[in-house]
Structure 1
């Protein structure tokens, strides 16, 4: 079944292309193809066919395909393949427009000298960051409105945005309470459509003038509560013969300028695109079949077709992704050109370390260690990201790297984002290290002055081989005798300058950064594209999956009873809330009030702690330390406990209002429990949530793999949310979309790798990349 609405030429071509491919893959017969093509051909109604040349070529294409049902299979297939080429050529010839380059100002021209821009508009445009014509050209639309297809009122059979046409037959304005509703009835002789505007009383007079006249109305159509259809807050335009049926851009606006005004300004000055020439290598343009930059810039503002828009987005997104990947790879090459210190690692200490472990490494851990050791022994400095799901065993791999580095005669530094994580690493690592003669120290902000001075002196003299700490490690007076390896845990929690400050404390350092936040490949290439990436994708044997359950808020009493039993059996419990304090604006529970209620009314016989983001780091560390050592049975908290904390006795996680968290964040919270040998239980307590939220939480409850969760979360919430810090470390992308343009990113990465190898041949690209990304991506060599 298909729609009986009129269709555009490009919609017909899209259908035709898909059908031809189905024939080639044996999914559709030629008889069925021809029948469907004939049906849809009859529905084509497109103003581009007013051009006699386009009409003729379109007919030729149809007539070329029509006989295939009567042909021998071999000949029919050949014609089908030829038809695919004809479609591609038709699109390129007739569905893409070229800019008019007869009158054009330079991109550097100040915006006040642009057509249709006076002093008032200049001030408004500057608020939008538009100071020159070039800024205007690169001020891209946020959306588009397709007005090429006019759906008769009588044929409107769906809810959504559309353009229709009819005669205004009635206009009235009435007040209901504090709201003014202006309404007009639009009729096409068969059916009627109600147009409604809220609190726009000034429109009444203009609508009265249009009474009994034909207009175009564009807006969102929906069913009214009385059974008819209505369009709310539509944009209307009288039919006066000047309408251009086209795809219109929708720009981000500010007070004082309308869509019509900014469209007019861009349209009057769009010829400026003719000044732009392609900076991408010609071989890439041909290889990827990319549109030239001037037509792409025209198409991003005023596309002739959706095909033109798609090709324009592809061209601009590719360039954006290519330059970003080139910058990351150039940064890495600059780092590599410093030259590393190849380390001699016999491997005997690592063997001794492994013999004493109470477990065997997984194959994934062994491979991670192999890659890191190869980096340490290489003549290039290591720059590697080690990522893996919560509990996969990254810390043991990091320890092996430290042991290898020590055996080669170098010091190591491990930097964690918080004191409690640093202390946790110290407690895990130091006993085994000290036993092997690897002297280890802990350096924190709260370390006493006397102890700090002692540790600094011993680091400088080379008496301490491993130091574990927080940002205290980057202070100027911390120096090393022979620092060879830096490990940064949860590196996205540090700023670029903090990381650089630690790396600068040695010459040709090997750097290993770790994260327990599963990051989809597209996001990893974007943020960590200058690093080699190692993923531990295997969990240690015997580790039990946390059982995750959706629970109605009405069943909370039963969950609390379960909690009491778990505590009685030696377990500990996290209860997480989205808010610190109650809010009038947000309907969600708050940690402070719930701590007061639960500690007195429900869990009076237990020790209940409270942790939230308004506490100082020192206070937070102290509370977590007390929970980790068993002083609290229950910890009521906000999400500040989400990363890295290890409490082996914690077996239960209760998350209230889970719909307020991202899935990646929920996965991190879930990872705080079940880290010992007992079964872990995660309860997601939901109240009245919408269907989308419920579906998202159901997916999470059934999915244990953190990378799958992160991929799903990125599709729903965008890439910036995966790390829990919006756009942290993420280069700004104006056109490219990491979800939509996933394959484009991989292609751009491959091409950037090829071009960066012969970067001397492309000085203009190197210069442009340094201009755009130089500061952010550390293109200056770190001495």
Structure 2
């Protein structure tokens, strides 16, 4: 019995080598092949040259009226020209460095030339020649992303074969009411028209259907997860309210109104009989860590363990030290679990965790490895949430009996991405900085103003400040003409020592070296720390008030905002100098945005506009869905509609028992969701 999950090896002409070749494109099954959508289309529709503009890309169809002439010049350079009759006009077609085309050109033969139109000279510089007659091919042809293992025509033939053999079992996921409401195709028609369109209009309609389907299915999965968690018996964390109030009252500062609001939202969730699944967003320095500490303390007063997962050992170590200090004198026992532990330390800690001897475990991905067991895990916190995908979030929550989950991020996420990547979560936002914090003053300097930057740095150091100096590279690169940390360290050491001590910190250093560099900087033994982006998150030194970023245009806006957030953490005025000579409009726009605002959410929205959804969170790290057709930014309205439609469907009584919804039920089961439906 045929299935779309069949291997591509079932197709004629696909042997073991072809299977491996297709796998390099992420194609393993028939489903993968049918949903490997074109990146663009070649439009072979002939252009009317009377209305064609100069330098426009055009398609000319005509009859060859002169023998092709090949002229060779220079080293391996050549020019091929011939004349062709297009309507009532004879035009010259020229091809550079494609001598093999000569064999394809015959007098009185009809050809199609695609290329750039030179209106004054009435000639076309071709890049593609097609010999077939218009009747023998579609005027609109799909073009796919391929590599050295698979050619266009080979991939196209496999897709056509797969469609011909499996078309009759392609299910339609979208309910008929939705298809009619938005004039969408059924899935079989959509796949046919997206791969083999007759016209631009049909291709566009098919892609519109595919985009909506992607959004709908993704939102259906997220909301099914959310509903399933809401209906599972979570841990009711009945914390000791008086004890919690005493802990909060003992803090050396007053919580901001935003922090109080968020603490109430989290504590309310923790008392509910279902799993908390909440995202905590807060700009750099807004005080997320203390909110997390309050949630941890609440869980521990109720007899539960808590776990906090950070993306790097540096950040995990910092959290462990900071939390140990916050919980000094309480019954919270903090442990650090990372890959750097010796085998004996690792074994002893795992035993202590399983027995419940430690009640707060801070760590990296080591927290979710096989063999790691908890005595009574009630609260799971992930920091720098954008570094973890849905699967990693799920792995950590599966370490306990439905523990409450709090995800934190200091990377402000535009609403567009929040509803895409975190649609299964409730969202809390700390939109207020602690009292006494002054906005960081940011200035953009050209590289020829380097001396002015050093002068400013020296003046600030004289006043007792400390400074970070950031470079995008560790060592000199032949490929990139940018500052590097090692050179900067040597240069600044020569400029500033012995009056001021300069240190170096980068990712290739060992853990002990990194820790020692940060300890010296925090203690004031170092006045300047030259670093790569290893200090992007987590490093906290309230006395550091100057941030100098070299080749700032090499960084994205979110990263620049994170780096800038390493200063301005105390009551003194802080400064950020961006040294950059951006060559592109986008690079200049990034610098202007950084100077104009220090509001992380405004910066995130601008980043989204400049770069699109693909790079803002970093797909490979974040679990951000790589939609094949839909664009969450350009198609935001469609995404929001699909989200509402998915929610409405799941909210219907016995929706999963309706015949036309069975493909959707199977789809959710295939994605291994243990869902419970109303």
User: Residue 139 of structure 1 aligns with which residue?
Assistant: 36
| C-alpha contact (below 8 Å) 2:387/2:621 kept by paired residues | no
Aligned 1:160-179 pairs, distance under 5 A: 160-165=56-61, 171-179=69-77
| C-alpha contact (below 8 Å) 1:719/1:727 kept by paired residues | no
Does residue 1:636 correspond to 2:530, yes or no?
A: yes
User: Residue 204 of structure 1 aligns with which residue?
Assistant: 102
Q: Which moved more, 1:253-262 or 1:580-589?
A: 253-262
Q: 2:446 & 2:89 partners in 1: Cα distance?
A: 47
| C-alpha contact (below 8 Å) 1:171/1:185 kept by paired residues | no
**TM-fit CA distance, 1:329:** 2.8
Aligned 1:470-619 pairs, distance under 5 A: 470-471=364-365, 482-493=376-387, 502-601=396-495, 605-619=499-513
Q: 1:726 & 1:715 partners in 2: Cα distance?
A: 20
**TM-fit CA distance, 1:631:** 2.6
Q: 2:377 & 2:470 partners in 1: Cα distance?
A: 40
| C-alpha contact (below 8 Å) 2:306/2:378 kept by paired residues | yes
The structure-2 alpha-carbon separation of the partners of 1:576 and 1:187, relative to structure 1 and needing over 3 Å to count, comes to: farther
Deviations for 1:377-412, whole angstroms, at most 9, x for unmatched residues? 101021211112111221222122223334434343
Aligned 1:314-325 pairs, distance under 5 A: 314-325=208-219
Q: 2:240 & 2:29 partners in 1: Cα distance?
A: 62
Does residue 1:234 correspond to 2:234, yes or no?
A: no
Q: Tell me which of 650, 656, 669 is aligned to 1:770.
A: 669
Q: 2:55 & 2:380 partners in 1: Cα distance?
A: 57
Unaligned ranges ≥5, structure 2: none
TM superposition score normalised by structure 2: 0.85
**TM-fit CA distance, 1:375:** 0.7
Q: 1:232 & 1:108 partners in 2: Cα distance?
A: 45
Q: 2:250 & 2:121 partners in 1: Cα distance?
A: 77
Q: 1:126 & 1:475 partners in 2: Cα distance?
A: 28
The structure-2 alpha-carbon separation of the partners of 1:135 and 1:462, relative to structure 1 and needing over 3 Å to count, comes to: closer
* Secondary structure in structure 1 of the residue aligned to 2:179: helix
| C-alpha contact (below 8 Å) 2:283/2:600 kept by paired residues | yes
Deviations for 1:310-356, whole angstroms, at most 9, x for unmatched residues? 32122222222222222223333444444023233463344334444
* Secondary structure in structure 1 of the residue aligned to 2:146: coil
| C-alpha contact (below 8 Å) 1:365/1:536 kept by paired residues | yes
The structure-2 alpha-carbon separation of the partners of 1:457 and 1:614, relative to structure 1 and needing over 3 Å to count, comes to: closer
Does residue 1:417 correspond to 2:311, yes or no?
A: yes
User: Residue 371 of structure 1 aligns with which residue?
Assistant: 265
Does residue 1:341 correspond to 2:235, yes or no?
A: yes
The structure-2 alpha-carbon separation of the partners of 1:500 and 1:196, relative to structure 1 and needing over 3 Å to count, comes to: same
Q: 1:312 & 1:343 partners in 2: Cα distance?
A: 49
Does residue 1:751 correspond to 2:650, yes or no?
A: no
The structure-2 alpha-carbon separation of the partners of 1:458 and 1:688, relative to structure 1 and needing over 3 Å to count, comes to: closer
The structure-2 alpha-carbon separation of the partners of 1:380 and 1:400, relative to structure 1 and needing over 3 Å to count, comes to: same
Q: Tell me which of 365, 380, 383 is aligned to 2:274.
A: 380
**TM-fit CA distance, 1:551:** 1.3
The structure-2 alpha-carbon separation of the partners of 1:147 and 1:500, relative to structure 1 and needing over 3 Å to count, comes to: closer
Q: Tell me which of 566, 591, 597 is aligned to 1:672.
A: 566
* Secondary structure in structure 2 of the residue aligned to 1:332: helix
**TM-fit CA distance, 1:670:** 1.6
Q: Tell me which of 582, 586, 592 is aligned to 1:698.
A: 592
Q: 1:563 & 1:765 partners in 2: Cα distance?
A: 61
The structure-2 alpha-carbon separation of the partners of 1:254 and 1:355, relative to structure 1 and needing over 3 Å to count, comes to: closer
Deviations for 1:543-575, whole angstroms, at most 9, x for unmatched residues? 322222221111111101111111121222222
**TM-fit CA distance, 1:616:** 3.2
What's the Cα RMSD here?
3.9
The structure-2 alpha-carbon separation of the partners of 1:502 and 1:612, relative to structure 1 and needing over 3 Å to count, comes to: same
**TM-fit CA distance, 1:620:** 2.8
Q: Which moved more, 1:545-554 or 1:684-693?
A: 684-693
Q: How many aligned residue pairs are there?
A: 665
| C-alpha contact (below 8 Å) 2:386/2:621 kept by paired residues | no
